[in-house]
Structure 1
Amino acid sequence: MIELTTGDGQKLSAYRADPDGAPKGAVVVVQEIFGVNPHIRKMADMFAAKGYVAIAPSLFDPVKADVGLGYDEAGVSEGLHLVKEVGRDRALAEIQAAVDSVKEAGKVAVVGYDWGGYLAYAAANRVNGVACAVGYYGGGIVDDYGEKRKVPTLLHFAEDDKNIPPEAVVQFRAFRPDVSAFSYPGAVHGFNCDERGDHNQEAADKALERTLFWVSQYVEGQPPILLKNSGAYAQAKVDKKKKKKSAGGDDLGPPMD
């Protein structure tokens, strides 16, 4: 474990796994409501084995240190309580600290599970230095569709997730065509975790294949090319035009690429 410090001076620990040889980039692994438990450490180790520096910040540390809960009713109850105490903004500040701590390795992806899936989705627009984001069955994502994505975002949903109805996922896709969202037949919430009774190996394998491709594409590859009518590219063009008009008042045509 290593120690991180947020921008406002909060201290927290993080599990870090380093690859053999030079890293291809980095992955911030964002925990479920159960803390940085063996499953999250296993995910970090997996990304390290694929050639990335992997770091899993202990988001509960400012409230309660060294949390690693089980998947029983007591674990769920305590985890939900800690999530409320920490809150989204503090969690995102902690993810920012994790991103900053590994950026020397190259571009950084954020991959989250459950609560961490929602935080990864939020981090895509609110954490600096993120190349791409991947979220697994994140509660609240389908209700948070108002903003265009600033970085490429991949989402995994379970078709039989009682917490995230499939019709809500369909509606989310309609609102956010700039997000790649996949659903997995026969899978339920938590399907990626092989320590839970809800584990679905087929869905987990397919989601991992897509996740690794996504990370390799945007962490190792070139920056994405965005269309003129969507996202950051369009905003940049609008800003350029405004600046030109205010500077000289002459419309010299569209800005050069």
Structure 2
Amino acid sequence: MWIELTAADGHKLAAWKDGPADAKKALVVVQEIFGVNHHMRNVCDRFVKAGYAVVAPALFDRTERGVELGYKPEDVARGRELRSKVPEAGTIADIEAAAGALPAGAKKGIVGYCWGGTVAWWGATRTKSFAAANGWYGGGVAGTRTETPNCPVELHFGTLDASIPMSDVEAIKAAQPGVAVFVYEGGQHGFGCDERGSYNRELAEIAWGRTLDFFGRHLG
């Protein structure tokens, strides 16, 4: 269901919330550049079925409310435009507000995709709200790779990602030897999204299994 959150700076934003109120493990699920759309809500549902409570904050609410985009070229352009207007500090405040809306007794993690993969990394390095962080094809991780994570981190990248060159992935590995970085041969950007042309079922399921195993180890 949709709920309203209030960030530390007073900004009010929508968020998708699901899962048991008494869950012992919980996740902030961070959107791609397409909003908390049908795909992201499906991702939330998969985590709920795996036993997690989830909250997915609508990060675009800082610039435009109610955004749900598809995956056509014009949607990509619109998503990039909106993302460019969202301040990083506001994004951090919003994921912390989302963490605060998770069950109080739960051990909390953060997982994100595309833009959200970068935000999940920031959740690890710029907050102390999470016990584990997992990012899928986060294009901004390389640019902030020297930041120090405050919790275990796992990252996923595809070798054929046109927006994240393998040189960036190697730079992340060199800067963060303690971070688990998985590289998927033949994976394009968005290989985990079954609503995109770049979807790769085999690779997506491998990454999904690793993600669940990672959170199982760190969140219980």
2:124 paired residue number: 124
Q: Which is worse superposed, 96-105 or 180-189?
A: 96-105
Could you say if the C-alpha distance between residues 105 and 67 of structure 1 is closer, same or farther in structure 2, counting changes exceeding 3 Å? Answer: farther
2:201 paired residue number: 201
* Structure number with higher relative contact order (C-alpha < 8 Å, ≥ 6 residues apart): 2
1:53 paired residue number: 53
Aligned amino acid, residue 141 of structure 2: I
Distance 2:106 2:127 in 1: 16
1:4 paired residue number: 5
Structure 2 alignment gaps of length 5 or more: none
2:67 paired residue number: 67
Post-superposition offset of 1:147:
2.4
2:169 paired residue number: 169
Q: What is the aligned-residue identity percentage?
A: 42
Could you say if the C-alpha distance between residues 105 and 16 of structure 1 is closer, same or farther in structure 2, counting changes exceeding 3 Å? Answer: farther
Post-superposition offset of 1:150:
1.3
Post-superposition offset of 1:103:
4.5
Distance 1:147 1:128 in 2: 13
1:18 paired residue number: 19
Distance 1:23 1:134 in 2: 19
2:100 paired residue number: 100
Deviation by residue 1:182-201 (Cα, 9 ceiling, x = unmatched): 00011100000000010001
Post-superposition offset of 1:137:
0.3
- For the residue of structure 2 that corresponds to 1:4, the secondary structure is strand
Is contact 2:27-2:55 (8 Å) kept? Answer: yes
TM-score normalised by the chain length of structure 1: 0.82
Q: Which is worse superposed, 32-41 or 80-89?
A: 80-89
Could you say if the C-alpha distance between residues 185 and 102 of structure 1 is closer, same or farther in structure 2, counting changes exceeding 3 Å? Answer: same
Post-superposition offset of 1:36:
0.3
TM-score normalised by the chain length of structure 2: 0.96
- What CA RMSD, in Å, does the superposition of the two structures yield over aligned residues? 1.2
Aligned amino acid, residue 182 of structure 1: F
1:143 paired residue number: 143
Is contact 1:53-1:105 (8 Å) kept? Answer: no
1:85 paired residue number: 85
Question: Which runs of structure 1 show a deviation greater than 6 angstroms over 4 or more consecutive aligned residues?
Answer: none
Aligned amino acid, residue 11 of structure 2: Q
Structure 1 alignment gaps of length 5 or more: 221-257
